[in-house]
């Protein structure tokens, strides 16, 4: 009798647990399905560097031009470019998809990078667009990676910068995101993501057209940093490796960044072949 009651209770408990799990699945599955915001229709440019050139591999053909002599090397996924920190960079042409169109209410700029010496007092720019009036930037300075944005014309957004500590000679993935922004300053519109995780949010707004040039690995025509310094042309040289730079006019979400940053977890184990195969599969799916 005791054994029968015990088995009945165990069976009942199993049924209850199964019901709870199914309920949770139906509750959170819709959230999981809509979480990813990456929209391939909004791709502006994708510089994979896999063919040893600065060509944009998206359909938009926003091809870059070398400054100095960046060297094609093994990256986190396929090939990347190594910059000497003195005069190597990639200049990018004007395009309504990045800087001469707009206003841009959503934007994601992201890249893998490995910095040789993060402790330098000089800023080391990974990506920048715009100038002293409107723009976005991603850079390294004194042990931290920074992202920033500003629009000092249309609605007096003086700018916001978010940072997080990083390590020298270690692959990281960094992104700056503008999400559902309006033509005014609102809380939480500028985001920083590092290694697949949200670092923080700050006030921001949409980005209007900005005629100054865009570049990878250095500042080509002005940018603004967290300390208020307005840098001029041909400065901010990055020392290290940059890979897989992308610009989208949609705001990536947590699921997108988890997928993109996946190679970091593989790289820690030294499995570059697995990483490359994973990314190639994802590209074919997209």
Q: Is the pLDDT of residue 282 over 60?
A: no
In this structure, what are the phi and psi dihedrals at residue 4, rounded to the nearest 5 degrees? -65, -45
Question: What separation in angstroms does the CA of 165 have from each of 24, 170, 211, 224?
Answer: 36, 12, 32, 20
Determine contact, residues 215/91, Cβ cutoff 8 Å: yes
Q: How far apart are alpha carbons 126 and 115 in whole angstroms?
A: 10
Query: For the residues 203-207, what does the mean pLDDT come to?
Result: 97
Q: How far apart are alpha carbons 202 and 159 in whole angstroms?
A: 9
Task: Report which of residues 99 and 24 the model is more confident about.
Answer: 99
Determine contact, residues 116/240, Cβ cutoff 8 Å: yes
- C-alpha dihedral sign at 89, 76, 122, 179: positive
Determine contact, residues 215/76, Cβ cutoff 8 Å: no
Give pLDDT tens digits for 211-261: 899 999 999 989 999 999 887 889 999 999 999 999 999 999 999 999 999
pLDDT of residue 12: 57
DSSP one-letter string for 32-90: HHHH----GGGEEEEE--TTSS----STT----EEES--EEEE-SSSEEEEEESSS-EE
Give pLDDT tens digits for 158-174: 999 999 999 999 999 99
């Amino acid at each position: 009798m005791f054994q029968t009651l015990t088995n009945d209770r165990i069976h009942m408990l199993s049924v209850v647990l199964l019901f709870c799990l199914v309920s949770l699945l139906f509750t959170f599955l819709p959230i999981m399905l809509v979480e990813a915001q990456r929209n391939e229709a909004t791709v502006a440019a994708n510089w994979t560097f896999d063919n040893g050139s600065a060509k944009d591999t998206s359909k938009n053909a926003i091809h870059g031009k070398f400054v100095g002599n960046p060297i094609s090397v093994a990256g986190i996924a396929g090939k990347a470019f190594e910059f000497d920190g003195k005069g190597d960079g990639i200049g990018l042409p004007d395009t309504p998809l990045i800087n001469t169109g707009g206003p841009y209410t959503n934007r994601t700029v992201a890249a893998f990078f490995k910095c040789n010496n993060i402790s330098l007092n000089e800023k080391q720019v990974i990506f920048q667009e715009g100038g002293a009036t409107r723009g976005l930037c991603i850079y390294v300075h004194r042990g931290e990676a920074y992202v920033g944005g500003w629009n000092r014309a249309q609605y007096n957004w003086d700018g916001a910068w978010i940072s997080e500590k990083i390590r020298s000679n270690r692959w990281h993935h960094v992104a700056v995101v503008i999400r559902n922004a309006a033509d005014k300053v609102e809380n939480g519109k500028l985001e920083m993501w590092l290694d697949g995780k949200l670092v923080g949010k700050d006030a921001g707004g949409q980005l209007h057209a900005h005629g100054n040039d865009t570049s990878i690995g250095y500042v080509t025509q002005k940018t603004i940093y967290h300390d208020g310094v307005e840098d001029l042309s041909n400065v901010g040289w990055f020392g290290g490796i940059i890979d897989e730079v992308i610009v989208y006019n949609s705001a990536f979400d947590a699921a997108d960044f988890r997928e993109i940053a996946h190679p970091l977890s593989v790289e820690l184990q030294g499995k570059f072949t697995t990483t490359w195969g994973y990314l190639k599969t994802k590209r074919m799916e997209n």
